[in-house]
Amino acid sequence: MTIKVFIADDHDLVRTGIIRMLADMTDIEVVGEASCGESAILGVKQHNPNVVLLDVNMPNMDGIEATRRIKQSHDNIKVLALSSLSSSPYPAMLLKAGVDGYITKGTNIDEMVRAIRKIHAGGRYFSHEIAEHFAQNYLQDSDDPFATLSEREKQVLLMIVNCQNTQEIAEQLFVSPKTVNTYRYRIFEKLEKLGIDSDVKLTHLALRHGLIQSN
């Protein structure tokens, strides 16, 4: 049986590279691609793949929200998250959104293919870096400055540090700008003891803990 794969990543070179590498696999067929979360949702509806290979960090709608919506409307489709970031809170948030596997962009093609085949067969797959993160988080939860935030607050935090304004966040999450501002207030209230009282300081904290990468 051929595994139909849909690829969503905002970098053309990454998508092209993955498509070329998977082309050598006789049991895998790439049926479509997208450059953002919104396009991924439309593409999944159109192509009905077995597995979606989804970048976590994409413009307009991130991989976490895209995963949640794909799973809500197509619970039979497997989602394999792909990211250069393996640090908290991404793995936990993606798990709660419904991903079936999570690999980093440092993963070689053999491991990527194993992950695709395993989740298609009904299993779960997490690369070594992700599994190590889960183990460390389980043992040292107190080291995570974001541990007190709810899943939605973490999602809003990630959008803030990725330079999205209140209106953009509201539109992506289908909530009012007032609700977004409420989340912002709660985030700063919970992180106040760390001296976080501005978007700039929040971004620096996110950089230190690997939530985002400096260009």
Report the alpha-carbon distance of residue 53 to residue 212 in Å, rounded.
Answer: 20
**Which of 110-119, 162-171, 201-210 shows the highest mean pLDDT?**
110-119
pTM: 0.67
Mean pLDDT of 129-155: 70
The band of 2, judged by pLDDT with boundaries at 50, 70 and 90, is: very high
The DSSP result for 34-94, as a single string, is ESSHHHHHHHHHHH--SEEEEESS-SSS-HHHHHHHHHHH-TTSEEEEEES---TTHHHHH
- Per-residue pLDDT tens over the stretch 89-127: 677 788 888 899 998 887 889 999 999 999 999 998 888
Q: CATH for 3-139, among 3.40.50.620, 3.40.50.2300, 2.40.30.10, 3.30.160.100?
A: 3.40.50.2300
Contact 19, 30 (CB under 8 A): yes
- pLDDT above 70 as % of the chain: 89
Domain ranges of the chain: 3-139, 145-208
pLDDT over threshold 70, residue 138: no
- pLDDT above 90 as % of the chain: 43
Look at the chain and count its residues. 215
- Per-residue pLDDT tens over the stretch 29-86: 999 999 988 999 999 999 999 999 999 888 778 888 899 999 999 989 999 998 876 5
Q: What is the pLDDT of residue 62?
A: 84
> Which CATH fold topology does 145-208 show?
Arc Repressor Mutant, subunit A (1.10.10)
Average of per-residue pLDDT values in the chain: 86
